C-alpha cells in the first residue's frame, strides 16, 4: 500500500512536468512562426518596393524620349521613330475609346464606420485628352464627405490599351488605366494609396478599381 501511495505523486509530478514542457514548446513554436511570418512579410514588401522602383525607371525611360539627344544621326532617327510610335499609341487609344471630354466613375466598398461606406473616384479627360482631373471622395454612413481630393494630371501612353496619369514634372505613373479591346464603357484603374483622404481612411497600400463611363449632359446658356 505504501508503494502505491508513493507512486501516485511521482506520476502526477511527471504529468505536470510533461504539461509544462509541452506548454513551453508550444510558446516557442508560436514565437518562431510569428518571427518567420514577419520575415516573410518584410521580404515581400522589399520585393514589391524594388519592383515599383524598376517599373518607375522603365516608365521614365519609355516616356522621356523628348529629352533624349544624341550626336549620332542613326540614333536620333530611331529615337524619333519611337517618339512617333508613343504619340501614335495615345492617339489610337483616345480615338478607339472615345476619351476626349469623357467622364469615368468607380467605387470600392470599405467598412470605415458602417457597411455603407465606400471610396469613390472620378476621372474627367480634357477636350484634347492631354490632361485629366481625378477626384477622390469618401462616403461614411451613407453621406459623402464635403471634403474631396482633386488632382490635375497629364495623360501619356504606356503600351497598347494602357494610359498612365502623371504629374507635370514627372514620368512616374500616379494612376495606370487599362482598357479592353472594343469596350467603350469600362476600364480598370490601379494606383498607390496617396491622397489625403485615402491615407486617412483607407488601409490598403495598393488599390484598384473598375471604372465605368458616365454620360454627362452639359447645358449651355
213 CB contacts (<8 Å, ≥6 apart)? 102, 103, 104, 184, 185, 186
Q: Look at residues 63, 96, 114 and tell me which one is the last residue of a structural domain.
A: 63
Buried b / exposed e over 87-113, threshold 16 CB at 10 Å, is: eebbeebbeebebeebbbbbbeebebe
For 194, other C-beta atoms within 10 Å of its C-beta total: 14
Cell of 2: 505504501
Q: Which domain holds residue 4?
A: 1-63
Higher-confidence residue of 195 and 80: namely 195
> What would the pLDDT profile of 147-180 be if each residue is shown by its tens digit?
999 999 999 888 888 999 999 888 899 999 999 8
* % of the chain surpassing 70 pLDDT: 69
Q: Looking at the domain assignment, is residue 199 inside a domain? A: yes
**How much is the pLDDT for 149?**
97
**How much is the pLDDT for 25?**
78
Q: Residue 180's domain is classified under what CATH number?
A: 2.40.128
Q: Looking at the domain assignment, is residue 134 inside a domain? A: yes
Q: Look at residues 13, 41, 63 and tell me which one is the last residue of a structural domain.
A: 63
Round to whole Å and give the CA distance between 178 and 180.
7
**What value does the mean pLDDT take over residues 59-79?**
61
Q: Which range has highest mean pLDDT (23-27, 28-32, 72-76, 172-176)? A: 172-176
Round to whole Å and give the CA distance between 153 and 160.
20
Examine the pLDDT at 193 and tell me if it is beyond 90: yes
**What value does the mean pLDDT take over residues 195-207?**
95
Please tell me the least confidently modeled range out of 18-32, 114-128, 139-153.
18-32
Single out the residue of 85, 118, 123, 84 nearest to residue 104, CA to CA.
123
**How much is the pLDDT for 24?**
82
Round to whole Å and give the CA distance between 213 and 105.
6
Cell of 129: 485628352
144 and 102 housed in the same domain:
yes
Q: What would the DSSP string read from start to end of 124-164?
A: EE-SSSSEEEEEEEEEETTEE-S--EEEEEEEEE-STTEEE
Give how many domains the chain has, as a whole number.
2
CA 95, chain centre distance (Å): 26
Amino acid at each position: 500500500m505504501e508503494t502505491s501511495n508513493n507512486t501516485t505523486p511521482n506520476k502526477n509530478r511527471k504529468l505536470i512536468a510533461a504539461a509544462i514542457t509541452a506548454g513551453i514548446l508550444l510558446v516557442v513554436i508560436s514565437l518562431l512562426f510569428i518571427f518567420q511570418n514577419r520575415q516573410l512579410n518584410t521580404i515581400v514588401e522589399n520585393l514589391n518596393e524594388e519592383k515599383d522602383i524598376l517599373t518607375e525607371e522603365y516608365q521614365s525611360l519609355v516616356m522621356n524620349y523628348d529629352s533624349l539627344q544624341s550626336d549620332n544621326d542613326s540614333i536620333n532617327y530611331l529615337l524619333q521613330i519611337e517618339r512617333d510610335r508613343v504619340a501614335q499609341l495615345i492617339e489610337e487609344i483616345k480615338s478607339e475609346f472615345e476619351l476626349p471630354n469623357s467622364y469615368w466613375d468607380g467605387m470600392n466598398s470599405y467598412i470605415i464606420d458602417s457597411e455603407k461606406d465606400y471610396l469613390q473616384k472620378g476621372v474627367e479627360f480634357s477636350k484634347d485628352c492631354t490632361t485629366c482631373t481625378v477626384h477622390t471622395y469618401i462616403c461614411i454612413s451613407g453621406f459623402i464627405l464635403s471634403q474631396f481630393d482633386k488632382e490635375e494630371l497629364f495623360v501619356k501612353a504606356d503600351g497598347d490599351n494602357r494610359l498612365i496619369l502623371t504629374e507635370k514634372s514627372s514620368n512616374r505613373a500616379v494612376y495606370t488605366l487599362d482598357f479592353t479591346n472594343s469596350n467603350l464603357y469600362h476600364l480598370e484603374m490601379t494606383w498607390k494609396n496617396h491622397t489625403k483622404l485615402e491615407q486617412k481612411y483607407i488601409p490598403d497600400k495598393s488599390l484598384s478599381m473598375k471604372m465605368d463611363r458616365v454620360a454627362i449632359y452639359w447645358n449651355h446658356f
